[in-house]
Amino acid sequence: MLTRLLISNVVLIEKLELDFSSGLTIFSGETGAGKSILLESLGFLLGARAETDMIRQNADKMSVTGVFDISNRQSPVFDILRENEILLEKDEDIIIKRSLDKSGKGKILINDTPVSLKLLRQICLNLVEIHGQFDSQGLLDSSTHIDVLDCFGANQNERLTVKNNFNALKDIEKRLSVALALNAQCAQEEQTLLHYKTELENINAQKGEEETLSSKRTEAMMGEKLVENFNAAYGALEGQGLAANIRHALSALDKINRLTNGKYQNISETLDGALIELDEATAQIEKASSEISLNATETDAIEERLFALRALARKHACNVDELPDVLKTINQKLSSLKQNSDEIIFLQKEMISAKEAYLQSAAILRQKRLNAAKLLETSVQSELSFLRLDKARFRVRVEPSDDVHLTEKGTDSVVFEVSTNTGQPFGALNKIASGGELARFMLALKVHLAQSSGVETLIFDEIDSGVGGSAAEAVGNRLSKLSKTVQVMAVTHSPQVAAFSDTHFKVSKQTINQTTITEVQKLSQLEKKEEIARMISGEKISNEARAAADILIKPAS
């Protein structure tokens, strides 16, 4: 609830500090005394549009500070604060300060942390509702009606199930979208990949092949010279060459060894080994010579192979030895295409199941909403006659939405509608009802919603407009009843309503040194009686008015 309000330099208010308590707080005062300035100051604090003409004359800037003690530590306010890294100590109050200078520059602080106007409004929607002048807040914003109805119907568990199923469905939709996008992209590449695969498979490049081919090409280019020299080497060893001389020497040594009974056999064995080595070398020369081709066609084939390999390597921005790896990568991409297609089929099936689960949970939530809507309609309707709205009707419209509007809150749209006169069509609260009717509708709603709503402070502006007598007393009674659950503040001209106050403030206007200022005084019980008497009789308070004030206050208390 709002425990303290500090206002500085707002219109006629120079400086004002007010402390509030729970229960019903009433503001009264003559017309033009400045009650509207209080509400404008509160509206400014809660995020209403700021105008520099609100700054008091001769002042450089205005500021409004509110201190809130939130008893419900599970309030959405604390989730919002945590999400925005505004951390509070245990049992710490929420302190909001908003200022505006003459240049139009403003500053908003929550517990000394600068915040945006958007965040301020988001937080204050869960702190205070003002009914009467600020039609965009609280229940007058139809986007809040679905949350209000769910709170009233205690649908939190069903809402959580729907939210979880919705998030699961959206997660699958996101994954499917990514998979489809990837598939579309890869599908465009598939023909190119298949073409590359065929090229690489046909050429069948091997690691080290470029070096081998280069060596063969070099040999082919030097073929004639190599063969000529191999032939020369071969001729030197065969025929009348070295081999023949060794054989001749061996023949002579054989004769010597026969004559000497093998005395020089070791020389023969040495020469015999040399001859074997020589024959082996001759064979290798012959083989090497035969492997060197002088065929121009074979040389051309080597050139063509090298050109094809290097051209393909340039195409894939790699070297020839990396071509087998390129083929491997392409095969992996083609394989992932198939895997992605399989994943799409799987996700499509999962999405069908997730949507069925979501719709099933949303249908359960819808039924609970319909039941809660009937109960809320009956409850509010029973209040209207007490508030002199006996010809008015109230309904809760729960409408199904199509697939396009599936949300984490389900498949419904919820709108509170009224008809203020017999035969008049139903319409939105802030479009059909007048100011006084609107405030009383809000009161009728809040009497039954207060226990389920997270907002702890309700402010009603001239809820008694257009009513008097027993109807005004009923309004006061309902405000008092409501204030047992939440903090209620009301600006009123009705003595019947004021009589029910737990705390009473009088707003007045004074002129000091040719400067007009608005003051707010907290009244004692005796001063409250005098103020109610003034509200009954006017400026001149009679004893009869005081007696009437006594009669009003005693039943109320």
pLDDT of residue 403: 59
Contact between 197 and 330 under an 8 Å Cβ cutoff? The reply is yes
Tell me if 288 is assigned to some domain.
yes
Mean pLDDT is lowest, of 24-28, 362-366, 418-422, for 418-422
Position 133 scores a pLDDT of 45
Residue 317: inside a domain: yes
3-state class of 498 per DSSP?
Answer: helix
- In this predicted structure, the answer to whether residue 134 has a pLDDT above a threshold of 60 is no
Q: Which domain holds residue 253?
A: 180-338
**Residue 133 token pair:** 């002048």
Which residue has tokens 């602080």?
109
**pLDDT tens digits along 68-77:** 998 777 778 8
**Do 246 and 238 form a contact (C-beta atoms < 8 A)?**
no
304 belongs to a structural domain: yes
Q: How many CB atoms sit inside 10 A of residue 71's CB?
A: 9
Per-residue confidence (pLDDT) for residue 135, from 0 to 100 = 45
Instruction: Give the pLDDT mean for 39-60.
Output: 90
Is residue 25 situated within a structural domain? no
237: confidence class by pLDDT, cuts 50, 70, 90 = confident
Residue 433: pLDDT band with limits 50, 70, 90: low
The predicted pLDDT at position 232 comes to 83
Instruction: Say what the pLDDT of residue 434 is.
Output: 65
Q: Rounded CA gap, 123 and 46, in Å?
A: 9
Q: Strands 94-101 and 106-110: what pairing? A: antiparallel
DSSP 79-123: HHHHHTT----TTPPEEEEEEEETTS-EEEEETTEE--HHHHHHH
Residue 229 placed within a domain: yes
In a domain, 553, yes or no: no
Query: pLDDT tier at 293 (50, 70, 90 boundaries)?
Result: low
Binning pLDDT at 50, 70 and 90, where does residue 461 land? confident
Q: Which of 74-78, 242-246, 432-436, 451-455 has the weakest average pLDDT?
A: 432-436
For the chain, the average pLDDT equals 85
Q: How crowded is residue 475: how many other Cβ atoms within 10 Å of its Cβ? A: 30
Cα separation, 388 vs 492, in Å, equals 16
Cα separation of 342 and 344, whole Å?
5
Tell whether the model's pLDDT for residue 337 goes beyond 60. yes
Give the confidence band of 78 by pLDDT, cuts at 50, 70, 90: confident
What is the Cα–Cα distance from 496 to 477, expressed in whole angstroms? 9
User: Model-level pTM?
Assistant: 0.61
333 within some domain: yes
pLDDT digits (tens, 9 = 90+) for 158-216: 999 999 999 999 999 999 998 888 777 766 677 788 888 889 889 898 888 888 888 88
Q: Has residue 132 got a pLDDT over 70? A: no
Q: Are 459 and 130 in contact, with CB atoms under 8 Å apart?
A: yes
Residues 474-489: pLDDT tens digits?
888 888 988 998 899 9
Nearest partner of 43 among 35, 105, 479, judged by Cα: 35
Residue 136 has pLDDT above 70, yes or no: no
pLDDT at 254 over 50: yes
Indicate whether 236 pLDDT > 90.
no
In three-state secondary structure terms, 541 is coil
Q: Is the separation of the CB atoms in 53 and 9 below 8 Å?
A: no
Inside any domain, residue 208: yes
Give the residue with greater pLDDT, 420 vs 398. Answer: 398
In DSSP notation, 340-401 reads HHHHHHHHHHHHHHHHHHHHHHHHHHHHHHHHHHHHHHHHHHHHHTTTT-TT-EEEEEEEE-
Residue appearing with tokens 């409501």: 482
Strongest mean pLDDT among 34-48, 328-342, 454-468: 34-48
Total domain count for the chain? Answer: 1
Confidence (pLDDT) at 435 = 62
Helix (H) or strand (E) holding 409: none
Among candidates 106, 140, 105, 109, which has minimal Cα distance to 125? 140
What integer pLDDT is reported at residue 506 of this predicted model?
94
- Shortest CA distance to 43 belongs to which of 543, 464, 465, 459? 459
